[in-house]
Amino acid sequence: MDSVDLEVLKSSVRWLEAGHRALLVTVVKTWGSSPRPEGAMLVVRDDGLVVGSVSGGCIEDDLIDRVRREGVPIARPEAVKYGITAEEAHRFGLPCGGTIQLVLEPLSEASNIRALLETVERGELVARTLDMATGNATLGAANATDGVHFDDARLLTIHGPRYRMLVIGAGQLSRYLCQIAAGLDYQVTVCDPREEYTDTWDVPGTTLVRTMPDDTVLDMKLDERCAVIALTHDPKLDDLALMEALKTPAFYVGALGSRRNNAARRERLKEFDLSEAELARLHGPVGIYIGSRTPPEIAVSILAEVTAAKNGVSLPTILQVEGAKAAREHAAGAGSTCDA
């Protein structure tokens, strides 16, 4: 789940335990353009304090105003729509005349919010089913491909990590990359059998394993919601992970290194009986070209490319490291010729 929505759950539990009433708001359906996807949440405390987001801000303002004036008056969940008319779309800041449907849920013990938070914090994927007639919520097993479902009688939402990321190497770059990836709500596993790196690993929100990379890939049973990034610069480690990862449905497999190193890596990987189609899935040099030089900048570059792949965005060659550098060299060569 989105890290913003995780903060919604934490705030909900904290406020309820402090004796406040709170209204949980969930996006259940959108028509046209919408700033936030189905399943996005916010929670409004009885004094108007808010955490989370369901729109660009205007709907939040309306909900806050309602709670400040009336408290949390509703006894059980109800569904509301914003932006049905052009005037409302303009008033609430919905782009292109979009419409958004929300479920407003007064939280109570029956909401099972604490149990939901505890399950999510254990790294588990969970389905929450809210009975609109009673306000009772139950938790159950979920699949990563499940989505939000609302039929006026029940609201089904999915919570927990939808995507996993395996990072090979526990070096300095991995620290920055994993910190950002955790904020993007990946369930991050770091694999490095080298004690000189793992003994000092202390990045919150990550799982460290000291097994060999190829064994780790097989153990994780990677699916289409997984990303693998090799960052050690050591072929004995990176290649082991890549040769197995490229055979999986993982949506992204990438490796750090120069263009020359990646060309050599591809030649080595051919010896592991990888097909041309499997080799073509390798992102390398990893990342998009933003002129990055420092480890934090390189981490941003890599995760920008991973995010594009996750969202099904095909990046033009000029944005990829290899294509961008080749274009710069060509431009520089052309300039030299013209000057001559």
pLDDT of residue 166: 98
Q: Note if the pTM is more than 0.75.
A: no
**Residue 336 within any structural domain of the chain:** no
Order of strands, edge to edge, in the sheet holding 78-82? 50-52, 41-45, 22-31, 99-106, 78-82
- Report the C-alpha gap between 50 and 72 in whole angstroms: 13
Q: Which of 115, 141, 159 is the last residue before a domain boundary?
A: 159
pLDDT of residue 143: 78
Select from 293, 212, 310, 211 the least CA-distant residue to 254.
310
Q: Which domain holds residue 231?
A: 163-323
**Residue 109 within any structural domain of the chain:** yes
Given the DSSP bridges, would you call strands 78-82 and 50-52 parallel, antiparallel or unpaired?
A: unpaired
Roughly what angle, to the nearest 10 degrees, separates helices 321-339 and 259-270? 130
205 and 100 in a common domain: no
**Residue 335 within any structural domain of the chain:** no
At 118, phi and psi to the nearest 5? -60, -40
Given the DSSP bridges, would you call strands 137-141 and 126-131 parallel, antiparallel or unpaired?
A: antiparallel
Query: Total structural domains in the chain?
Result: 2
Q: Which of 159, 193, 218 is the last residue before a domain boundary?
A: 159
Q: Which of 159, 189, 209 is the last residue before a domain boundary?
A: 159
**Residue 340 within any structural domain of the chain:** no
155 and 7 in a common domain: yes
52 and 177 in a common domain: no
Select from 148, 159, 157 the least CA-distant residue to 123.
159
SS3 of 106, please? strand
pLDDT of residue 277: 93
Encoding tokens for residue 82?
Answer: 């914003």
- Show the beta-strand stretches assigned E in 206-317: 206-209, 226-230, 252-255, 282-283
DSSP state at residue 227: E
313 and 167 in a common domain: yes
> What is the CB neighbour count within 10 angstroms for residue 66?
17
251 and 113 in a common domain: no
Encoding tokens for residue 277?
Answer: 């189609």
148 and 26 in a common domain: yes
CA angle 287/291/294 to nearest 5° reads: 80
Encoding tokens for residue 107?
Answer: 């939280």
**Residue 205 within any structural domain of the chain:** yes
110 and 179 in a common domain: no
- Report the C-alpha gap between 112 and 169 in whole angstroms: 39
311 and 179 in a common domain: yes
Contact 154, 277 (CB under 8 A): no
Domain harbouring 231, CATH code:
3.40.50.720
DSSP state at residue 296: H
145 and 170 in a common domain: no
Which whole-number Å values give the CA distances from 61 to 12, 48, 64, 212, in the listed order? 19, 9, 5, 52
Mean pLDDT by 10 residues, the chain (340 residues): 80 96 94 77 95 84 91 88 68 65 95 94 88 96 83 94 90 96 90 94 92 95 92 92 95 92 90 89 91 93 94 79 68 53
**Residue 266 within any structural domain of the chain:** yes
**Residue 94 within any structural domain of the chain:** yes
Strand partners, 31: 99
199 and 154 in a common domain: no
**Residue 167 within any structural domain of the chain:** yes
171 and 44 in a common domain: no
110 and 232 in a common domain: no
Given the DSSP bridges, would you call strands 154-159 and 126-131 parallel, antiparallel or unpaired?
A: antiparallel
